[in-house]
A and B are shown apart, each in its own frame.
Chain A
C-alpha cells in the first residue's frame, strides 16, 4: 500500500515521463509503442488519482486542505517564495480525477483517431505534456506555481491546435489562441506581481485568509495614480480574473475557442471542452475567499459569465460545423460556471451554493462534453467533414454512438435523471437565491437554447436521410478504439449527477470566508420544474423543425434568403472580422509602424546628421589646405594673434 505522497508524485510524473520518452526517444518512428506507453501511463495516473481521491474522501480530514509536498522553487525577498507543491482538497481532488480520467479516455480514443497520421508519436507526447501541465495547475499550492503551469497549458494547447502545421488555418488558429490567452496572462502576471507585492506571499492559504482592514489606510503608487492598498487588492483580483477571462474564453476574448477547433478532435475534446478552458473557472473557485473579500470583482465575473452564456448559445443555434456548435456550447456552459461563481454575492454578503453548483457543473460537464466531442470526432472520421450538410441518417450505421450521443445530449440539456440536470439546476437555483433575477431569467432562457441547438445537431446528424455518398454506400463502421471511450464516458454522463450530488453538497465549500455569509436562503422547489419545462419545450421545437415528418431539412440547411439578423448571428456577430481589423490596422499598421518609423527616421537620422556634420567640418579643414603659400604664411601670423587673444596668457 503506497502512501499518498508517492501517489501524488506518480500522478505528476507519469504523464511527464510519457512526454519525455515519446518526445525524445520513441517519436514518430515507432508510433505504436508511443501510443501504448501513453495509454498505459495515463491509465496508471488515473488509477493513482482515483486512489488518492478514495483515500482522501474516506479519511477524517476530508474537507480540509492537505499539502502532500511543497518544495521551494526559487526564493524571492523574505516570505515571498515560489514553491512547487501539491495541494489536496475536494476541489483539486475532483479535478485530478476528472483530468486523469478524461486524458486516459482521450488517449485510448486517439489510437483510433490518429491511426493514419504520420506524426502520431509527437501527438501522444504533446497530449501527455498537456495533461502533465494541467495536473500541475490543479494541484498548485500558490499563484506562482499556478502561473507556471498555466503558461505550460497554454503552450501545449498552442502546439496541439497547430498540430497539422501544414494547414494554414490551423497555424493561424493556434497563433490566435496563444496570443489571446497570452494577452490575458500578461494581466494575470501583473495581478500576481501586484497582489504578491501587497500581501507579501503567493500562497493560496495566505491570500485566501486576507481581510481588507489592514490595507485600508496604506497607499501604493500605481504610477498613473496613487491608490489605497485595499483598492489595489481589488484591482489585483480583477487582473487575476482577467487571466481566467482569457483562458476560459469569456466574451470578448472568446473568439479563439471556436477557431481552435482546427486542431484534431481529441485535442478539442480534452483541452477545449473538458479541462483547460475550465481553468479560468477553477482559478476563481480556488481563490474564492479572496474574491469574496474583494466583493466588487464578483459582480463583474457574474455579468461576464452571464453574457457569454447567452451570446454563445445564440450563435450556436445557427452554426453548421458540428465542432463549432460544440465549441459555442462549451462557451455557454463556461458562462454558466462563471456566473454561478459571481452570483454568490448578495449586497455585502456571500452565499456558497453558487460555488458548489459551479464546481459540480465543472465535474459533470467534463464528462458529457468530452463524450460529445469524441462522438463528433468519430462522425467526422466517418464522413470526413465537419459540416452538418454531409451528415444525417447515421443512426442506423452507428447505433452505439447514437445511444451515447443521446445520453450526453440529454445530460447537457438538463433533462433528469441525466447528470447535467443536477448541476445546471443547482446553478439556476443559486442565481435565484443570489437574488440576481435578470441573470436567473437569462439562465433559464439559455438552458432552453442549449436544448434546442443540441437537438438540432442531434437530429440533423443522426436522423433523416443520409446526405453523404460514403454513408449511402455504407462504408461507415464503428472503430473499436473510438467507440470504447465514448461508451465508457456515457456512464458518468448518465450517473455522475445523481451520485455526485450528495458528495458535492457534503464536502464542497469554498473554505473559510472572511465576509458575512448568508445562511437563511430562499427555497424554491418550483425552479427544477420550470427548467425541465423550458428544456422539453425547446426539444419539441427542435424536433418539429428538424426531425418531424414534415420538417423541411433542406430549407433548414441552406443559408440563402435568410433574414439579416440570422446572417449576423451566423457570422458570429462579425467578431473575427473586427478582431482582424483591430490587430492589422491598429497593432501592425499603427503602433508598430510608428515605432519603426521613429527608430528608422529619428534615431538613425540624428546619427546620420552628426556624421554629416563631422564630415562638413573635415571639408572645412581640407579647403583651408589649398596649397596657397601666402595663406599658409598668413596662418602663422593669425595663429600668433589667436593665441595672443584666446591663449589665456596673463598679457
Chain B
C-alpha cells in the first residue's frame, strides 16, 4: 500500500497533465482546480509517507545487505538495452526533500493563479517540473535519476521564456544551458561509473558495494561534483541563478530556488560523495576555497543590488554555499547540517519568492528604491517578507538557525586548514547577511509611502494561506528539530560510514 502510494508521488502530476490535455484552455478555473487538487493530494501523501518513514525508523531495511536503509523499495527491470532498472526508495533524507518539494509545488500552483498567458500549458509544465524533481529525489538507479534530473531543462526554458518578465529569453537560456552543461558533465561520468565500478549496473546500491579504481575517481569525482554543483550555483557556476530567477515567474523562481537548486547538492551527497568517497577526501578540502565567493562575497553582492529577485538570488547563492560547507566538512554533523539547510532553505526561499511575487503583482516593480512604506498597505505580505528575512539571517526559532549551527559546528570539526579558514569567515559573515536583509526590508516596507501605492491591497486568502503554511514549516523545523535530526541521521550514517571507511590514497596529488 505504502509502496504504491510512494510510486504514485511522481505519477500523479503526470496523470494530471494527461487528464488536462482534452480540456480546452478557456476553462481556466477548472484547470486550476484540477492542478491544485492534485498538488494538494500529493502533498498529503508525501506527508503521510514521511510520517511512515519516521515510524519505521530503527527497523531493518527489506534488503539487509544494502548499504542504505531504504523503505518502499521498488525495483523493476526497465531498459534491458542497457540494463537500467526502475528503482525508487525512501530514506530520511529524500523523504524530507520530497515533502519540501510537495510543499513548494503546492505553493507554486497556488501563487500562479492569475498568471498571464496560456495557463493550461503553464500548469502542465509546472506538473512536469514537479514530476522531474520528485523523480530525482526518489530514484536510486542512475539512469532513472539522470532522466529525471535532465527533464527539468525541458520545462524550465519554456516556463521562463514564455511566462517570465524582464530579460526572460536571456535568463531562460542562461539557466537552461548552464544546467545542461552541468548535467552533461554528470552524464560523461555516469558511464564511467557503470563500466569502471565493475558492477555493470546502474543501481546506486550495487555500485556502492564496489570500490571504484582510484585513477578513475580522481578525474571523475571533480567532474561529477562540479556537474551537480552547477545546479546548486557553486562558484564559478553561479552566474545562471540571478538572471534566471529574476526572469522567471513567481512559481518557477520558487521551484527553481526552492527545490531544483537542492537537486545538485543532493546529487553531490548521494551520488558523487557516496560512490567516490576516496576522491572526495582528496578533493573536497580544496573545493572549499570556492565557497569564499559564495558565502563571503555573495552577501556583499546582494548589498549592491536593487532588484528584489537579484538580492534573493544572491542570498540563495550564499545559503547554498553553506550547504557545500557542510558537505565539505565530511562529518556527521556537517552532513546533517547540509541536509537540514537544503530543506530549510527550500522553505525559506520559497517564502521569499512567494512574497516577492505577490508584492510584484501589486507594485509592478521589484526595485526597492522605488518602494517604501508598503508595510502600511499590505501588513500581511510585509510580515511574511520580514519573517522570511529573519529566517534567512539565521534567527533562532526558524529552521535556518538549526541548519547553520549544525553546519558551523560540523565544519569546525574538519581539521584541514582551508576548511577552518572558510568556516571562520562563514561564521563572521552572518553579519553581512543581516545587513542586506534589513536594508532591503527597511527600504521596501518602512519609511514614507509613495503616493502611487495608496491603492494597494493586502494578500487575498489564497496568498495568505501559502505564506502561513510556509512560515509554519520554517517554525516547526526551527522549534523542534529533534525528529528531523533523527530522520536525517539514519540516512546520513551509511554515507558517512562509507566516507570514513575510505582510505586516504598514498598519492594525494591532485588530478592524478
Residues of A within 8 A of B282 (CB): none
Q: How many whole Å from B289's CB to the nearest CB in chain A?
A: 12
Question: Given A166-B376, A190-B428, does the pair A77, B332 have CB atoms closer than 8 Å?
Answer: yes
A76 near B396 with CB under 8 A, answer no
Tell me if A58 counts as interface (CB < 8 A to partner B): no
B438 near A595 with CB under 8 A, answer no
Question: Given A190-B424, A193-B409, does the pair A596, B304 have CB atoms closer than 8 Å?
Answer: yes
Question: Given A76-B333, A162-B446, A193-B412, does the pair A178, B438 have CB atoms closer than 8 Å?
Answer: yes
Within 8 A of A (CB), among B442-483: 442, 445-448, 481-482
Bound CA–CA A598/B429 (angstroms) = 19
Q: How many whole Å from B407's CB to the nearest CB in chain A?
A: 10
Question: Quick one: closest A residue to B447, CB to CB?
Answer: A168
Binds B, one of A33-41, A220-228, A324-332: A220-228
A72 near B446 with CB under 8 A, answer no
Bound CA–CA A47/B395 (angstroms) = 31
Query: Interface SS of chain A: helix, strand, loop or mixed?
Result: helix
Bound CA–CA A186/B406 (angstroms) = 15
Tell me if A537 counts as interface (CB < 8 A to partner B): no
Contact of A223 among B417, B431, B439 (CB under 8 A): B417
Bound CA–CA A315/B129 (angstroms) = 62
Tell me if A73 counts as interface (CB < 8 A to partner B): yes
Tell me if B427 counts as interface (CB < 8 A to partner A): yes
Residues of A within 8 A of B396 (CB): 147-149, 151-152
Bound CA–CA A158/B397 (angstroms) = 16
Tell me if B430 counts as interface (CB < 8 A to partner A): yes
Contact of B409 among A80, A599, A607 (CB under 8 A): A80
Question: Quick one: closest B residue to A27, CB to CB?
Answer: B379
Bound CA–CA A158/B406 (angstroms) = 26
Binary CB contact string for chain A from 171 to 188 against chain B (1 if under 8 A, 0 otherwise):
110010011001101110
B431 near A592 with CB under 8 A, answer no
A155 near B395 with CB under 8 A, answer yes
Residues of B within 8 A of A171 (CB): 442, 446-447
Within 8 A of A (CB), among B406-436: 406, 408-410, 412-413, 415, 417-418, 420-421, 423-424, 427-431, 434-435
Question: Quick one: closest B residue to A176, CB to CB?
Answer: B438
Bound CA–CA A168/B397 (angstroms) = 28
Question: Quick one: closest B residue to A158, CB to CB?
Answer: B438
Bound CA–CA A178/B435 (angstroms) = 9
Bound CA–CA A75/B409 (angstroms) = 11
B408 near A77 with CB under 8 A, answer no
Q: How many whole Å from A494's CB to the nearest CB in chain B?
A: 39
Binds A, one of B54-62, B92-100, B101-109, B295-303: B295-303
Residues of B within 8 A of A168 (CB): 446-448
A197 near B431 with CB under 8 A, answer no
Tell me if A385 counts as interface (CB < 8 A to partner B): no
Number of residue pairs spanning A and B whose beta carbons lie under 8 angstroms apart: 131
Contact of B413 among A162, A182, A197, A598 (CB under 8 A): A197
Bound CA–CA A634/B32 (angstroms) = 61
Q: How many whole Å from A279's CB to the nearest CB in chain B?
A: 15
Question: Quick one: closest A residue to B390, CB to CB?
Answer: A155
Tell me if B236 counts as interface (CB < 8 A to partner A): yes
Residues of A within 8 A of B412 (CB): 193-194, 197
Bound CA–CA A177/B231 (angstroms) = 37
Tell me if A165 counts as interface (CB < 8 A to partner B): yes
Contact of A73 among B238, B428, B482 (CB under 8 A): B482
Tell me if B402 counts as interface (CB < 8 A to partner A): yes
Binary CB contact string for chain A from 576 to 598 against chain B (1 if under 8 A, 0 otherwise):
00000000000110011101101
Tell me if B373 counts as interface (CB < 8 A to partner A): yes
Tell me if B485 counts as interface (CB < 8 A to partner A): yes
Q: How many whole Å from A158's CB to the nearest CB in chain B?
A: 8
B408 near A73 with CB under 8 A, answer no
Identify which of B373, B420, B423, B434 gathers the most chain A CB atoms within 10 Å of its CB. Answer: B434
A604 near B434 with CB under 8 A, answer no
Bound CA–CA A627/B310 (angstroms) = 47
Within 8 A of A (CB), among B22-66: none
Identify which of B331, B408, B421, B431 gathers the most chain A CB atoms within 10 Å of its CB. Answer: B431
B446 near A151 with CB under 8 A, answer no
Residues of A within 8 A of B376 (CB): 166
B421 near A223 with CB under 8 A, answer yes
A77 near B397 with CB under 8 A, answer no
Tell me if B175 counts as interface (CB < 8 A to partner A): no
Contact of B485 among A74, A151, A187, A598 (CB under 8 A): A74
Binary CB contact string for chain A from 617 to 636 against chain B (1 if under 8 A, 0 otherwise):
00000000000000000000
Residues of A within 8 A of B446 (CB): 162, 165-166, 168, 171
A179 near B431 with CB under 8 A, answer yes
Tell me if A189 counts as interface (CB < 8 A to partner B): yes
A595 near B417 with CB under 8 A, answer no
Bound CA–CA A155/B390 (angstroms) = 9
B442 near A175 with CB under 8 A, answer yes
Within 8 A of B (CB), among A449-469: none
B431 near A186 with CB under 8 A, answer yes
Question: Quick one: closest A residue to B421, CB to CB?
Answer: A223
Tell me if A603 counts as interface (CB < 8 A to partner B): yes
Tell me if A196 counts as interface (CB < 8 A to partner B): yes
Residues of A within 8 A of B406 (CB): 74, 76
Residues of B within 8 A of A222 (CB): 420, 424
B239 near A607 with CB under 8 A, answer yes
Residues of B within 8 A of A144 (CB): 405
Tell me if B186 counts as interface (CB < 8 A to partner A): no
Question: Quick one: closest B residue to A147, CB to CB?
Answer: B396
A152 near B421 with CB under 8 A, answer no
Q: Which 3 residue pairs across A and B have the least CB separation, nearest first? A: A223-B421, A148-B396, A223-B420
Residues on A lying within 8 angstroms of B by beta carbon are 72-77, 80, 82, 144, 147-149, 151-152, 155, 158, 162, 165-166, 168, 171-172, 175, 178-179, 182-183, 185-187, 189-190, 193-194, 196-197, 221-224, 587-588, 591-593, 595-596, 598-599, 603-604, 606-607
9 extra A-B contacts, CB within 8 A, seeds A74-B402, A77-B333, A606-B236: A75-B485, A76-B333, A76-B406, A76-B409, A166-B376, A221-B420, A592-B304, A596-B300, A599-B239
29 A-B pairs with C-beta separation under 8 A: A74-B405, A74-B481, A74-B485, A75-B485, A76-B406, A77-B332, A80-B409, A147-B396, A151-B395, A155-B390, A158-B438, A171-B442, A172-B442, A175-B438, A179-B438, A182-B393, A182-B430, A186-B427, A193-B409, A193-B423, A197-B412, A221-B415, A223-B421, A587-B303, A588-B303, A588-B304, A592-B300, A593-B304, A599-B297
